[in-house]
A and B are shown apart, each in its own frame.
Chain A
Amino acid sequence: MKKYLLTAGALLLWSGTALAGGAETVTMPAEAYKAIMEKLDALQKRVDVLEEGGKAAPAPAPAAAVSRAEYDKLSKDIGNIYDTLDEVETKTLRDRINWGAELRTRVDNYKLSELGPSDVQIKPNNAYMPGVAGSFPMELVPMDGDDNDDNNWTNRVRLNMDAKINDTLSFHGRMAVYKNWGDSDYTTTSLYNDLNRVHRPEASGVKLDRAYIDWVPDFIVPVAVTVGRHPSTEGPPLEYKENRQRQSTYPGLLFDTENDGIVVTFGLERYTGLKNAGWRFAYGKGYHSDSDDSSSFSFFDDENDASDTNMYATFLESEIPCLDNSLMVLSYAHMTELPSSFLGSDSPINVGDMDLYGIHMQASNFLNSRFDIFASWAANKSDGNGKFVDFSPYVGTAIPTMGLLSTDGTEDRTGSSIFAGLRYTVPFTPLRDPKIGFEYNHGSKYWMSMTMASTEMFNKLATRGDAYEFYYIQPVNENLFFRAGYTFIDYAYTGSGSHLGQPAETDAELDNYYLLMDVRF
């Protein structure tokens, strides 16, 4: 073995001192000599290890004659490789954001039927002429009979961003375009506002859906701080239907809106032994009052407008004990000074406060049955401040006033909702294990949720009545799947999804058939 070592050592020495034939001598710098000796030491150690392991050492490389020209070329090549590496490494380090994209193309068939006298819309009057007697800015539109759209096509593009800034900071963002086919105008309804504008088809402009940092400092207790425009949409259990990973901190039945705020999460797993246990405290704004006019100080509060809506919430979550791949979330949220309109430019007033409570449970592949199951319950309690909106001067007709879940905001209301369902993964390899699912939700007369950004145009989880949905997911490959579904909603009361006005009984029904294609990469 030693002779191998000597041979290799001689080869290394030779490579630095003399060329074959002795025609030319190379003077070896002290650093090069030191490097060779270090290599010899490393080789010796390797030989020792091999000998101790009883293994045969590899045969030494045969000595080869290298000319000076070849030596210089090799040196130059190595220099070029280093230069290339430097460029590539520099470019890689400057590419701080990893990008991903999604495209969803969806076609819907909507039919709203059995509309009655209680089902009305208040819409802007396009024929309004200021100053003209008998002309009003709004109009009251009865929704008698049926209403439908037999093929509503939409495109939704999302650009997802992620960056690890350093060991304690990471950034996540999403920009999106969502539009109807052949339609790129802005929608002015107050139902489209800062809580859901990225989740409603509109113009072809890019909007900011999410942008937040996660800061996980070294602290005496495990803590994470999330600041920015939050991942507050499509929360559990909506990932089952969306065929993806969990998308939001908050349970989908309670809170599914775009939201700016701060969340502090304390990790409790090490203290409770419950997997993924955490306690979150959140603060955000549901509505910001400012002068949306041409004032020079448009960033100031609008003194004639509604005050800000602040949201304070806490969420306690963990895996359900003894149930793998499960989740349980207890929620409480308090919203102050809800505005009569979240749009802002229509001079809203404050109508009162609202509390939301909830409990959510779900389990993926429940007891290895291939069933994903979930159940949610939530409740709301209003605290009206006695203020209300009277649209009569705007529509020219005496209509009931609208306070918080009542006509005048003097009575506090309590509502509730349940949401349950399942998804089954069919073990059929030729079709790549498709999934079938069913969802049901029921909301009471005064049920009101913060789910304005729901993926369904009609805010299904805000339904005051019963909603049923069946769907089928057909994977094509790891990036592409199709989903077909049918939703039926039997409304019991009007005003689903709105915190304004006294709900009235209705027989309205909604049928929705849809097909969508989702590509993610």
Chain B
Amino acid sequence: MKWRIVCCMALAAAIWTPAAYADGGDLFRQKCGSCHQKGGQAPPVNPADKAAVVWEKFFDRNRHTVDLSAALNEAELKSVVEYLQKFAADSDRPETAAIPK
């Protein structure tokens, strides 16, 4: 019985942590969170603040008030946007507290 439970847990962990948005989540919390934190230079932001398509438009329109190129390269920014969309307001799992408000 125990080996079944271990196998199920391993399988669940493998399914739960695809690299794309796990990396994006880490980047978001580390790099975006350095400014977007409670009492920080910018107000806390979370994926569930906007719908997925709105996040896409936000970055397409270059609406981030600070130039991000020094903090994130193109691939990293893409990964962060994927993470934001994955857990956006209209996703199956809207993330409201990746960065505590």
Determine whether A100 belongs to the interface, using a CB cutoff of 8 Å to chain B: no
Give the docked Cα–Cα distance between A293 and B75 (Å).
60
Q: How far is the CB of B21 from chain A (nearest CB, A)?
A: 19
Assess the B63–A93 pair: CB atoms within 8 A.
no
Chain A proximity of B75: nearest CB distance (Å): 20
Does A82 count as interface, using CB distance less than 8 angstroms? yes
**A90–B62 CA distance with the chains assembled, in angstroms:** 18
Of B61, B62, B90, which contacts A93 at CB under 8 A? B90
B94 to chain A, nearest CB (A): 8
* Count class of interface residues, chain A: under 10
Residue of A nearest to B94 (CB): A94
Assess whether A144 is interfacial by the CB under 8 Å rule. no
Residue B97 interfacial (CB < 8 Å): no
Q: Does more than half of chain A's interface fall in helix, strand or loop, or is it mixed? A: helix
A residues 48-105 in Cβ contact with B at 8 Å? 79, 82, 86, 89-90, 93-94, 96
Q: A79-B63, A94-B51 are in contact. Are A86 and B90 (CB under 8 A)?
A: no
Contact A89 B54 (CB under 8 A): yes
The 0/1 profile, CB within 8 Å of B marked 1, for residues 208-223 of chain A is 0000000000000000
As a 0/1 sequence over residues 53 to 67 of chain B, the CB contacts with chain A under 8 angstroms (1 = contact) are 110011001110000
For residue A30, give the distance in angstroms from its CB to the closest CB of chain B: 13
User: Is A93 in contact with B58, judged by CB distance below 8 angstroms?
Assistant: no
Range of interface residues on chain B?
Answer: 10 to 19
**Partner of A89 from B53, B61, B62 at Cβ < 8 Å:** B53
| B61 engages A82 (CB within 8 Å) | yes
- Across the interface, do B63 and A90 meet the contact criterion of CB distance under 8 Å? no
List CB contacts (< 8 Å) of A363-381 with chain B.
none
CB neighbours (8 Å) of A93 from chain B are 51-54, 89-90
For the complex formed, measure the closest distance between the CB of A16 and the CB atoms of chain B, giving whole angstroms.
16
Looking at the assembled complex, report how far the CB atom of A251 sits from the nearest CB atom of chain B, in whole angstroms. 38
Residues of chain A with a CB closer than 8 A to B78's CB? none
Q: Which residues of A contact B49 (CB under 8 A)?
A: 90
**B65-93 contact mask (Cβ, 8 Å, vs A): 1 or 0:** 00000000000000000000000011000
Are the C-beta atoms of B90 and A90 separated by less than 8 Å? yes
A86 to B, closest residue via Cβ: B54
Binding site for A on B (CB under 8 A): 49-54, 57-58, 61-63, 89-90
